[in-house]
Amino acid sequence: MSEENLYTEILRWGYDRVNSGVTYTEFKGFIAEMDVGLGESRMSALFRELFDHMETNLTLDAVHSAMRNDEAFHLNVEATFRHLERIQLEEARSGSAQALFWARVSLSAAVVVGVIQILLGFLSC
């Protein structure tokens, strides 16, 4: 699994639990289910980068203590916006592909109608 896919999956997982919050133990379980070989330090850094404690303005030591005590964290605002931007990008790509399909259909129909009009013009002469 590429790093981008891991990051995307973590954002999706965290966004699905934004109201209830997640613990560091749940996060480690999620990473283990994905069968990704992340070291403990990388996993901890990812968690601290993407999730904030429910209590604001905690020191780094307090955050580490909260992680050890399985206190609730939620996806931070920046990570939430990244996830929502990705969803909007995927929807825009899908809409663009649909628009391109219908543009091709209408162009083909216009060509067919044009050819039929030319043929009818020659036959009526």
Question: Looking at residue 4, what is its pLDDT?
Answer: 61
- Once rounded to an integer, what is the mean pLDDT over residues 90-114? 94
pLDDT at 66 over 90: no
Domain that holds residue 15: 3-124
Helices (H), 1-125: 3-16, 24-33, 40-50, 60-68, 77-124
- Total domain count, the chain: 1
The confidence band for 45, taking pLDDT boundaries of 50, 70 and 90, is confident
- Once rounded to an integer, what is the mean pLDDT over residues 16-33? 88
Q: Which residues pair with 73 in a beta bridge?
A: 22, 53
How far is the C-alpha of 90 from the C-alpha of 85, rounded, in Å? Answer: 9
Q: H or E stretch including 51? A: strand 51-53
How far is the C-alpha of 77 from the C-alpha of 50, rounded, in Å? Answer: 9
pLDDT at 3 over 70: no
- Calculate the average pLDDT of the chain: 86
pTM of the predicted structure, to 2 decimals: 0.67
The confidence band for 69, taking pLDDT boundaries of 50, 70 and 90, is confident
Amino acid at 97: A
Question: Looking at residue 2, what is its pLDDT?
Answer: 52
How far is the C-alpha of 44 from the C-alpha of 89, rounded, in Å? Answer: 28
Question: Looking at residue 122, what is its pLDDT?
Answer: 86
In this structure, how many other beta carbons lie within 10 angstroms of the beta carbon of residue 122?
A: 8
Q: What are the φ/ψ torsions at residue 16 (nearest 5 degrees)?
A: -65, -20
pLDDT at 1 over 80: no
Residue 63 token pair: 């955050």
In this structure, how many other beta carbons lie within 10 angstroms of the beta carbon of residue 21?
A: 17
